């Protein structure tokens, strides 16, 4: 036995239009953040406090001597055998923005810098970081080759390959004329850790 469902023509047309509109409307991309941290360590082999020199040996046996800046406090606390650790952090965040006033101008970059060092009496440590924000205008997106092209506020055209899955998903929903706010952050932290 077959059942039959009938709709009024008017309802079917409205339902079909709703389905088509929903299918054609793509959601804007969610903000994307790509970040990485690298760590490099070396062991203190010799110290010259008067000349502010540290002789270091890397994990591969490579030896280097570095001059420690006068701003680094507490150098006399460093001992032979201590580890010097450098951590490098970088991140890029991208977010689709609504068009501002419609003039098509992009926002000039905003730069911020931070720095800190160990308090007196603590083991030597320092951190330096910088962040820049800029709104750019997308000129084209090549999803086949995963490349996005854009203009920054400096008027220069750039072409950037995108390799991460999150980045590919983000650019797949962009189109020419979109404005994207980019925030780039990088920081380097140095610390002296006790020998293990």
Is residue 81 a part of any domain in this protein? no
**Span 58-84, pLDDT tens digits:** 889 999 888 877 777 788 888 899 998
Instruction: Please tell me which of 30-39, 100-109, 187-196 the model is most confident about, judged by mean pLDDT.
Output: 30-39
Average pLDDT in the chain: 77
Is residue 70 a part of any domain in this protein? no
DSSP state of 166: H
Is residue 16 a part of any domain in this protein? no
Q: Which pLDDT does position 196 carry in this prediction?
A: 63
Q: What angle do CA 30, 35, 41 make, to 5 degrees?
A: 170
Residues in a beta bridge with 41:
85
Is residue 69 a part of any domain in this protein? no
**DSSP string covering 7-31:** --HHHHHHHHHHHHHHHH-PPPPPP
**3-state SS string for 89-155:** EEEEEEEEECCCCCCCCCCCCEEEEEEEECCCCCCCEEEEEEEEEEEEEEEEEECCCCEEEEECCCC
- Select from 114, 194, 186, 110 the least CA-distant residue to 153: 110
Distance CA 61, CA 25 (A): 58
Instruction: Please tell me which of 92-96, 118-122, 177-181, 190-194 the model is most confident about, judged by mean pLDDT.
Output: 177-181
Backbone angle region of 16, left / alpha / beta, with phi > 0 → left and psi within -120 to 50 → alpha: alpha
**Span 158-175, pLDDT tens digits:** 988 998 898 899 999 999
Express as a percent the part of the chain with pLDDT over 90. Answer: 19
Is residue 126 a part of any domain in this protein? yes
pLDDT at 17 over 60: no
Is residue 183 a part of any domain in this protein? yes
Q: What range does the domain containing 105 cover?
A: 28-39+86-193
Higher pLDDT, 100 or 64: 64
* 54 Cβ neighbours under 8 A, 6+ residues apart: 44, 46, 47, 65, 66, 68, 78, 84
| pLDDT band at 99; cut points 50, 70, 90 | low
Domain count, the chain: 1
Q: What is the mean pLDDT of residues 113-129?
A: 81
Report the range of poorest mean pLDDT among 25-29, 58-62, 114-118, 191-195: 25-29
Q: What is the mean pLDDT of residues 91-112?
A: 68
Is the torsion defined by CA of 101, 106, 108, 114 positive or negative? positive
Is residue 71 a part of any domain in this protein? no
Is residue 138 a part of any domain in this protein? yes
């Amino acid at each position: 036995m077959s059942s039959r469902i009938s709709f009024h023509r008017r309802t079917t047309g409205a339902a079909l239009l709703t389905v088509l509109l929903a299918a054609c409307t793509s959601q804007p991309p969610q903000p994307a953040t790509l970040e990485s941290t690298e760590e490099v360590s070396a062991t203190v082999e010799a110290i010259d406090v008067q000349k502010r020199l540290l002789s270091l040996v890397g994990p591969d046996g490579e030896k280097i001597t570095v001059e420690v800046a006068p701003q680094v406090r507490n150098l006399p606390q460093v001992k032979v055998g201590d580890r010097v650790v450098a951590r490098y952090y970088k991140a890029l965040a991208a977010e689709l923005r609504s068009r501002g006033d419609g003039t098509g101008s992009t926002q000039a970059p905003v730069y911020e810098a931070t720095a800190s060092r160990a308090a007196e009496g603590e083991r030597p440590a320092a951190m330096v970081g910088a962040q820049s924000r800029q709104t750019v205008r997308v000129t084209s997106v090549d999803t086949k080759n995963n490349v996005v092209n854009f203009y920054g506020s400096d008027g220069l055209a750039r072409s950037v390959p995108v390799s991460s899955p999150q980045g590919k998903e983000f650019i797949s929903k962009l189109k020419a004329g979109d404005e994207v706010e980019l925030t780039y952050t990088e920081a380097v932290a140095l610390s002296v850790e006790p020998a293990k």
